[in-house]
Structure 1
């Protein structure tokens, strides 16, 4: 009677699956807060008019590595158009993409990565406004799918910040 040896570890025979997106780090790249009318702006109790702008950009380091930056600009002014505060935050993360087709880059860089960065950027904005003496500015969730579609439309269907061909110098 002959016995066959047990099969080798099947998991070892399988190629390791590479994650489609790897976050290497996230950081405040730029933070600016201006409170030009302090302390008067903190004494007056008027309902401010808020303006908020969110943008996503990226910068490519090599074929698979990118810096994705979430820029949040917020300002408040009195009904008389006097400024209360101006805030600008650039919160970024460095990511690598796995073995993916080029058409998958856009959604990962302009939708998924900003979704990962947004809660942290939102907390920075809330803390900065609170530390400046104002109620914390809690930004509502952002529809990054709609923002991505707007960016594609504005760039004629091309994804900004991603090279079409090989990256680097020949």
Structure 2
């Protein structure tokens, strides 16, 4: 068990969390991974099938895209902390419901508190809208750092979007160069 898991387990026994119906169908709780002193924290939507099986974030096809994008921006995956808005896989990989996001928000808030990243990267519309509490227009807002609750935040496309729309690859790679620069400032 890693240190973050230990910290969260002491708070609310996240590994046995019954806070929403996602607990009924999960295989594993996917808390997150990465160093507790990471300057960059990536927040995605929810675990997928591979993540649910392995208990780790971004290990499936989207994880492979994420690894390539991080590498192209000169960022080591081992240097970032990766989490999701919800910690259990929604059935059929559907978008998490509002009550599920709210149920998991205590865990994400604690992760942000413990990691205290310089830059928070919101991967996709669901993560961005959940974190910011407002509607997001991806085409207009991605790749533009801004301050939110005393942190630099960058909204970008979810790596899975590249799998379905290759035209977004350049935008995602460009956004991660902006993210790297923001983390180094």
TM-score higher than 0.5: no
| TM-score normalised per structure 1 | 0.31
Higher strand share: 1
